[in-house]
Amino acid sequence: MAIEHLLYLSAFLFSIGLVIIITKRNAIMMLLGIELMLNAANLNLVAFGYDGKIEGQVFALFVVIVAVCEAAVGMAIVLRVYHYYTTSVPDDISNLKEQR
């Protein structure tokens, strides 16, 4: 399989992730979109390491770890928001803007 196919796949994944972030209103769905974008990047990094460049694969591992940390903190924040507002839709939460 040529490397181009993998790049097209990763570009496709990245676009899906970006569209999810822009169109979906739920914070959990947005987290999913972010995860897709990160995995698209991982796919690129591993694909570009085809000729023995180990750097990219190491970076991909780091990205996985970073994504896990981010998701953990993100879930905690979403949980706290849900506790206060009983919703996880960011558009419905607008205490801060009303004060203007």
Partner 1 sequence: MQLSLTDQLQWIADSTSILVPELILVAGILSVILLNIFRVVHFRIYGAVAIASVTLSGLSVLLHWHTDPVSLFNHLLRADDFSSAYKLLFALGTLLTFLLSLSSGTSNKPAEYCSLLLTATLGANLLVMSTSFIMVILSLELISISTYVLAGFHFTKPGAEGSLKYFLFGSAATAIMIYGISLLFGLSGTLNFTSSEFVSHLIAQHSSLVMLSGFFILAGFLFKASAVPFHLWAPDVYEAAPLPVVAFLSVVPKLAGVAALLKFTLAINLFGQSFFDWQTVIAAVAILSIVVGNLSALAQKEAKRMMAYSSIAQAGFLMAAMAPLSLQSMQFMIFYSAVFLIMNFAVFTLLQQFETTYKTTSIHALAGLAKTALIPSVLLTMALIALTGLPPTAGFTAKLFVFSSIWEAFTGTGKSILLWLLLIGLLNTVISLFFYLKIPFYLFIRANTLTEPASAKSFTFTNLLGLVLVIALFVFFFYPALLMGWLNRINFVL
The residues that touch partner 1, with contacts defined as CB under 8 A, are 7, 10, 14, 17-18, 21, 27, 30-31, 33-34, 37-38, 40-42, 44-45, 47-48, 53, 55-56, 58-59, 62-63, 66, 69-70, 73-74, 76-78, 80-81, 83-85, 90, 93-97, 99-100
Q: Please provide the DSSP assignment of 14-38 as one string.
A: HHHHHHHHHH---HHHHHHHHHHHH
What's the closest the beta carbon of residue 65 comes to partner 1, in angstroms?
9
Pseudo-torsion of CA 53, 18, 12, 8, nearest 10°?
-40
